[in-house]
Amino acid sequence: MEKKKYNFKTPPYDHQRKALEIGWDKESFAYFMEMGTGKTKVLIDNLGVLFSQNLINAGLIIAPKSVYTIWQNDELPKHLNVEYESLLWKPTLKEKLIKEFINKETNKLKLLVMNVEAFSTKKGLTFAEEFIKIHHCLVSIDESTAIKNHKAIRTKNILKLRKVAKYRRILTGSPITKNPLDLYTQCYFLDPNHLGFKSLYAFKNYHCHFEIVYFGDREIATPVGFKNLNEIESKLPTFSFRVTKEECLDLPKKIYTVRYVQLTDEQKKLYEQIESEARANLQQNEMTVNNVLTEILRLHQITAGFFTGDSGTVELKNNKLNTLMEVVDSIEGKAIIWANWVHNIEQIKEELVKEYGMESTVTFYGKVTSDQRTEAIRQFHNNPKCRFFVANPSTGGYGLTLTQATTVIYYSNSYNAEHRMQSEERAHRIGQTEKVTYVDLITEDTVDEKIVKALKTKFRLSAETLGEVVRTWI
């Protein structure tokens, strides 16, 4: 189809332009673009082009909870070059506001931004279905591996949207995180014909080798290998665009991105209690700078999922570890994960080993002996199964060369700008031949945001300066 010229708000890179040219007018299409290559912008430009061609008047963007607010607050205003109005889904939205947005007549592109978790609820599904049914709508799923589990309620509900959406898009850097079966529900959402099978059962039978496993009196056929993968490989290019950072010669060498995390109710209650006490003491001039720093450290611990009190360390239910695993699930190759607290380093290692195996992870922090550190570096350099280097920036942030990693994740930051700058350079130094993506996990409306803001301005905070800064933070 011939399209009118579209004026981009931000100029696309060559690979982004190519992705858009290939997929813009397809009813269903997948942007399999590695993290850091700008798939978000491509989807936004796709929305703009279709709207300017009068082919859609609405869009539903489904994304993980850690990024869906970024779509609303940052990405859409930055890249979308058509008039639009948008609504950010929240479970607390009143029915009246929902109805008004759905039924409002407008000449602007109408956008609804929802988190994927909303589709585990009847309210979320009903809202989305009503929105799509009365609009010519493009439905997109960011980080579409979130629907790879065909048994999950949210997957079943999102698949219901397929028949009522005029256009469908999925976005992910790693469509296959464990095995080729991961592809099925993602591609089924686009079109059941893309992979040539109307059911997961038929897809598995054709592409899996099975072994009979006995559980008591029961026999269960378990996949132990795969076959006919060349057929999947030949089908994917017919409905998708794939690019890696290594192939994007026009990308900058360092790519920064953020994943936002929300406090759990348990964290929020404790955080607000400590913050309130600190504020009261400050107003009464009963706190020194050192006392304030202690309070900030306590707040920072809470955002990291634990709290050290008089009776020891208390675990707090938190979303940050889940968000980390979502990020790890969406990347390829090796990654460095920086965390300030030993408690988190050990917790992260335990979770990664559980998911990816004993050889997948090494650690580097104060308790690790000299011999163990040498072995950790050797494993990360030479063992293909060793994907994750989990470390404390104050220990591992200096002198090491870890150019095997192309992703660097900050589980937490400190206010020490030198630690941040030095730790960034472990992967981005002589010997690195690829782009490096830096991911900050930031707990919204907390000290996390204040720390990263300070780091961005490269402040080396002296005790005297910090005394003024912490007052504003609290």
Please give the pLDDT value at position 405: 95
Please give the pLDDT value at position 466: 39
Q: What DSSP assignment string belongs to 203-242?
A: HHHHHEEEEEEEETTEEEEEEEEE--HHHHHHHGGGTEEE
Tell me the pLDDT tens digit for each residue of 52-68: 999 999 999 999 888 88
Q: Poorest-confidence range of 275-279, 339-343, 459-463?
A: 459-463
Q: Which CATH architecture has domain 14-247?
A: 3-Layer(aba) Sandwich (3.40)
464 or 379, which is more confident: 379
Please give the pLDDT value at position 2: 55
Q: Stretch 234-241: mean pLDDT, rounded?
A: 93
Task: Tell me whether residue 417 is exposed, middle or buried, using C-beta atoms within 10 angstroms of its C-beta: 0 to 12, 13 to 18, 19 or more.
Answer: middle
How far apart, in whole angstroms, are the C-alpha atoms of residue 38 and residue 255? Answer: 10
Ranges of CATH 3.40.50.10810 domains, the chain? 14-247
DSSP state of 178: S
Q: Poorest-confidence range of 105-114, 175-184, 342-351?
A: 175-184
Residue 282 has pLDDT above 70, yes or no: no
Please give the pLDDT value at position 220: 81
Looking at the DSSP bridge assignments, the partners of residue 76 are: none
Please give the pLDDT value at position 460: 43
Q: Stretch 411-437: mean pLDDT, rounded?
A: 86
Please give the pLDDT value at position 392: 94
3-state secondary structure of 111: strand
How far apart, in whole angstroms, are the C-alpha atoms of residue 154 and residue 152? Answer: 5
How far apart, in whole angstroms, are the C-alpha atoms of residue 195 and residue 383? Answer: 34
Residue 290 has pLDDT above 70, yes or no: no
Ranges of CATH 3.40.50.300 domains, the chain? 255-261+317-473
Percent over 70 (pLDDT), the chain = 92
pLDDT band at 288 (very low <50, low <70, confident <90, very high): low
Contact 237, 23 (CB under 8 A): no
* Average pLDDT taken over every residue of the chain: 88
Tell me the pLDDT tens digit for each residue of 141-172: 998 989 999 999 999 999 999 999 999 999 99
Q: Poorest-confidence range of 390-399, 414-423, 435-444?
A: 414-423
Q: What DSSP assignment string belongs to 388-452?
A: EEEE-HHHHSSS---TTEEEEEES---SBHHHHHHHHTTTSSTT--S-EEEEEEEETTSHHHHHH
How far apart, in whole angstroms, are the C-alpha atoms of residue 339 and residue 337? Answer: 7
Please give the pLDDT value at position 107: 96
For the domain covering 255-261+317-473, report its CATH number. 3.40.50.300
Rg (CA), the chain: 24
Select, from the ranges 145-154, 226-235, 284-293, the one with the highest average predicted confidence (pLDDT). Answer: 145-154
Contact 409, 326 (CB under 8 A): no
Residue 459 has pLDDT above 60, yes or no: no
Residue type at 13 in one-letter notation? Y
Q: Stretch 210-230: mean pLDDT, rounded?
A: 82
Q: Poorest-confidence range of 30-39, 79-88, 332-341?
A: 30-39
Please give the pLDDT value at position 465: 35
